[in-house]
């Protein structure tokens, strides 16, 4: 379905796709709130599942955004199939599973895994001890959430990974560096024992080439600035240890390509020219309409120029940029497929 991106691909073999994130298995999606983080994470999960392997899409903020998006009942702490990716190159698409992770359930599961303590975990929850634990050990909640992602990435069955990839709808840009870097604090807190071992494992997965942190933005000043700051902060906080991924420029309106921008003379002269053109086209003499049209043209041109400037700033950040179209209607599965296809065409998955 998707054409090979580079001509050289077709010389090798048609079925081998060249994507920008070869080898990445944990895709962390962040961005300024409201820019489309959840939508982009879901579309990315579908795009990755088109490679034929199952993908896990997880959310960590207790918003049930994924359930809403896929129009299914609220997700329990259990992996549920929510969609199937479109076929690609004649190969059937993989399943997309979804999971809503919360720190308490993750801790209970963790206690069971390491101590066979499920019932103890339940009792602790009832007594409110877990809230207490996550309060006195800030960062414990984060490591439990990232820990679940690391576990899903590492999980194997029949000698191979259960999931081809894991996509995390992560906290917003302002919190992402601390969220991902927390295992360092936990390691310092728990000097020995399984929690420390667990934290070290999580840390090594997040700081490996298997993990990339993608940013979602709009072509507007504020979210672009947050993206640039977020990338810088990620590098600084992690000492370059956490890989920044791609920039997903969301809700891009179709329109003039930069090269096809009309040459404008100024609202008055353009209004005159438009009036002449309208008359020539048999649309009558209507100087007011011509003036309105000219004003709109100039407005649009101003917006486009501002967007071009934001594009340039994003490109200067040095990460691959992908543009996703503005979907005019409600985002349903068909819309997610469309966004997933745009991602694949541009080499994001």
Ligand X SMILES: Nc1ncnc2c1ncn2[C@@H]1O[C@H](COP(=O)(O)OP(=O)(O)O)[C@@H](O)[C@H]1O
Binding residues for ligand X, rule: CB under 6 A, are 31, 33-39, 65, 250-251, 324, 326-327, 331
**Closer to ligand X at the Cβ: 31 or 139?**
31
**In the numeric block, which tokens belong to residue 9?**
């691909």
Please identify which residue in the block is written with the tokens 């894991």.
166
Q: How far is the CB of 312 from ligand X (least distance, A)?
A: 21
Question: Shortest distance, CB of residue 40 to ligand X, whole angstroms?
Answer: 7
Kindly state the smallest distance separating residue 339's Cβ from ligand X, in Å: 6
Residue 54 touches which member of Mg ion, ligand X, none, C-beta under 5-8 Å by kind: none
Cα separation, 316 vs 338, in Å, equals 27
CA–CA gap between residue 191 and residue 72 (Å, rounded): 42
* One of 4, 31, 36, 65 touching Mg ion (CB under 5 A): 65
35 binds, among Mg ion, ligand X, none (CB under 5 to 8 A by kind): ligand X
Task: Report, in Å, the least distance between residue 176 CB and Mg ion.
Answer: 13
d(CA 217, CA 314): 9
Binding of Mg ion at residue 36 (CB under 5 A)? no
Dist. CA 111–CA 197, nearest whole Å:
13
- Name the residue with tokens 């069955």: 157
Pick what 249 binds: ligand X, Mg ion, none; C-beta below 5 to 8 Å, kind-dependent: none
Binding of Mg ion by 173 (CB under 5 A):
no
Which of Mg ion, ligand X, none interacts with 129 (beta carbon under 5 to 8 A by kind)?
none
**Positions of E strands within the chain:** 26-31, 55-59, 80-84, 95-100, 156-157, 160-161, 165-169, 211-217, 244-252, 321-325
Angle value at C-alpha 305, between 223 and 37, nearest 5 degrees = 25
CB of 31 to ligand X, least distance (A): 6
Rounded least distance, CB 117 to ligand X, Å: 34
Question: Residue 36's binding partner, choosing from ligand X, Mg ion, none, with beta-carbon cut-off 5 to 8 A by kind?
Answer: ligand X
Pick the closest to residue 152 from 86, 206, 112 (CA basis).
206
Least CB distance from residue 34 to Mg ion, whole Å? 8
Contact residues for 344 (Cβ-Cβ < 8 A; gap 6+) = 2, 17, 19, 47, 50, 88
> What token pair was written down for 343?
């991602």
For residue 155, the Cα-to-chain-centroid distance in whole angstroms is: 22
Stretch that binds Mg ion, among 35-43, 177-185, 223-231, 238-246 (CB under 5 A): 35-43
Kindly report the length of the chain: 349
Maximum Cα–Cα distance across the chain: 84
Q: What angle do CA 82, 168, 164 make, to 5 degrees?
A: 70
Give the residue with the Cβ less far from Mg ion, 93 or 245. Answer: 245
Q: Which is nearer to Mg ion, 65 or 103 (CB)?
A: 65
Q: Does 223 bind Mg ion (CB under 5 A)?
A: no
The nearer residue to Mg ion, 38 or 210, going by C-beta atoms, is: 38
Applying CB under 5 A, which of residues 35, 38, 173, 238 lies at the interface with Mg ion? Answer: 38
Q: How far is the CB of 301 from ligand X (least distance, A)?
A: 23
Chain contacts with Mg ion (rule: CB under 5 A):
37-38, 65
């Amino acid at each position: 379905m998707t054409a090979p991106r580079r001509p050289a691909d077709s010389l090798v073999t048609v079925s081998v796709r060249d994507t920008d994130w070869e080898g990445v298995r944990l895709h962390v999606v962040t961005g300024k709130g409201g820019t489309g983080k959840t939508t982009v994470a879901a579309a990315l999960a579908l795009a990755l599942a088109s490679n034929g392997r199952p993908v896990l899409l997880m959310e960590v903020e207790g918003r049930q955004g994924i359930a809403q998006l896929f129009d299914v009942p609220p997700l329990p702490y259990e992996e549920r199939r929510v969609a199937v990716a479109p076929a690609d190159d004649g190969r059937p698409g993989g399943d997309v599973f979804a999971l809503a992770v919360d720190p308490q359930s993750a801790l209970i599961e963790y206690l069971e895994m390491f101590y066979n303590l499920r019932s103890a975990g339940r009792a602790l929850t009832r007594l409110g001890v877990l809230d207490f634990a996550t309060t006195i050990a800030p960062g414990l909640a984060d490591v439990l959430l990232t820990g679940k992602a690391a576990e899903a990435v590492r999980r194997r069955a029949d000698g191979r990974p259960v999931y081809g990839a894991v996509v995390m709808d992560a906290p917003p840009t302002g919190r992402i560096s601390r969220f991902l870097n927390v295992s360092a604090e936990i390691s310092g807190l728990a000097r020995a024992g399984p929690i420390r071992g667990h934290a070290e494992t999580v840390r090594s997965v997040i700081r490996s080439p298997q993990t990339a942190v993608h940013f979602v933005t709009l072509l507007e000043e504020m979210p672009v600035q947050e993206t640039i700051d977020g990338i810088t902060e990620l590098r600084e906080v992690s000492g370059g240890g956490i890989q920044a991924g791609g920039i997903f420029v969301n809700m891009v309106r179709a329109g003039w390509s930069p090269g096809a921008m009309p040459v404008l003379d100024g609202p008055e002269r353009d209004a005159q020219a438009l009036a002449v053109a309208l008359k020539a086209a048999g649309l009558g003499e209507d100087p007011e309409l011509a003036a309105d049209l000219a004003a709109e043209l100039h407005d649009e041109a101003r917006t486009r120029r501002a967007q071009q400037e934001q594009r340039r700033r994003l490109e200067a950040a040095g990460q691959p940029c992908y543009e996703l179209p503005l979907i005019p209607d409600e985002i349903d599965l068909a819309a997610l497929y469309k966004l997933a296809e745009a991602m694949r065409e541009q080499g994001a998955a």
